[in-house]
């Protein structure tokens, strides 16, 4: 399976945008890019996914590089409730292989 | 209803015990999953059921025995576990997709298992 690389941790201030990067230089043409997040003491939660084009939903936006070797999850206005581990995952259901993720801290 | 429920929330068992973890969803999903998550690590896929049949076993030891009695229920039977099996066990469900497409996986809150 293709591998993802994410920063171990990032910090943001409340109500500011957050850009969470993910590198995936070995992505295959059929790999979807998924983002899940895991809040403390909870199971992972779907955030967004895409294949080639940028995607928006109520939670976030996903910006995918033209060569698809990297992507960025954008939280438009971080809140304290967005503090979580964010996982960038390649592939498709059923097999989601989680990487180490980015621990996002949101400061009041 | 977009909820996956798991029982029990916490379980402590000895190495000679037999116990079961239960998972339930009523979203009409025909794919269900078990993941194992050690502390401060990402979830690792253990088993996948598709249309109530085991489709993926990620080389999990036989002391873990999954069962999917119907389209809403998923069990994980535990027997003769080791202390290193202590972890958070997560259940998830999704629609069945063809090829390597994509469908959102819905996760339960997990069962925190401690093996003494």
Per-residue model confidence as pLDDT tens digits over A54-70 = 999 999 999 999 999 99
Q: Which residues have CB under 8 Å from B96's CB, separation 6+?
A: B29, B30, B31, B50, B51, B103
Partners of residue B44 in chain A, C-beta under 8 Å? 98
A103 touches chain B (CB under 8 A): no
Confidence check: pLDDT of A93 > 80 = no
Average pLDDT over chain A, rounded to an integer: 93
- A41 near A104, Cβ under 8 Å? no
Better pLDDT: B48 or A93: B48
- B83 near B97, Cβ under 8 Å? no
Q: Which of B99, B100, B107 sits opposite A43 (nearest CB)?
A: B107
Q: Please write the tens of the pLDDT for every residue from B43-66.
A: 999 999 999 999 999 999 999 999
Mean pLDDT of A30-53: 93
Mean pLDDT of A26-50: 92
Q: Which pLDDT band holds residue B97 (cuts at 50, 70, 90)?
A: confident
**Strand partners of residue A12:** A106
Q: Which of A45, A93, A101 sits opposite B94 (nearest CB)?
A: A93
What pLDDT sits at residue A96?
A: 85
Q: Which pLDDT band holds residue A97 (cuts at 50, 70, 90)?
A: confident
Confidence check: pLDDT of A2 > 70 = no
Cross-chain residue pair A34–B100, CB shorter than 8 Å:
no
The pair of three-digit structure tokens given for residue A34, joined into one six-digit string: 């998924």
What pLDDT sits at residue A1?
A: 62
């Amino acid at each position: 399976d293709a591998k993802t690389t994410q920063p171990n941790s990032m910090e943001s201030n409340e109500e500011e945008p957050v850009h969470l990067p993910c590198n995936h230089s070995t992505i295959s043409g059929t790999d979807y890019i998924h983002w899940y997040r895991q809040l403390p003491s909870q199971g992972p939660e779907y955030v967004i996914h895409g294949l080639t084009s940028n995607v928006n939903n109520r939670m976030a936006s996903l910006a995918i590089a033209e060569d698809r070797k990297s992507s960025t999850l954008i939280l438009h206005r971080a809140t304290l409730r967005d503090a979580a581990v964010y996982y960038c995952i390649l592939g498709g259901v059923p097999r989601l292989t989680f990487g180490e993720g980015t621990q996002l801290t949101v400061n009041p | 209803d977009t909820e996956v429920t798991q029982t029990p929330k916490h379980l402590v068992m000895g190495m000679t015990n037999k116990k079961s973890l239960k998972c339930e969803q009523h979203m009409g999903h025909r794919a269900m999953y078990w993941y194992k998550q050690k502390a401060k690590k990402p979830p690792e896929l253990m088993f996948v059921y598709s249309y109530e049949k085991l489709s993926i076993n990620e080389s999990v030891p036989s002391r873990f025995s999954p069962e999917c009695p119907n389209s809403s229920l998923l069990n994980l039977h535990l027997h003769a576990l080791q202390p290193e099996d202590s972890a958070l066990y997560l259940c998830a469900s999704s629609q069945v997709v063809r090829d390597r497409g994509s469908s959102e996986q819905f996760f339960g809150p997990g069962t925190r298992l401690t093996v003494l």
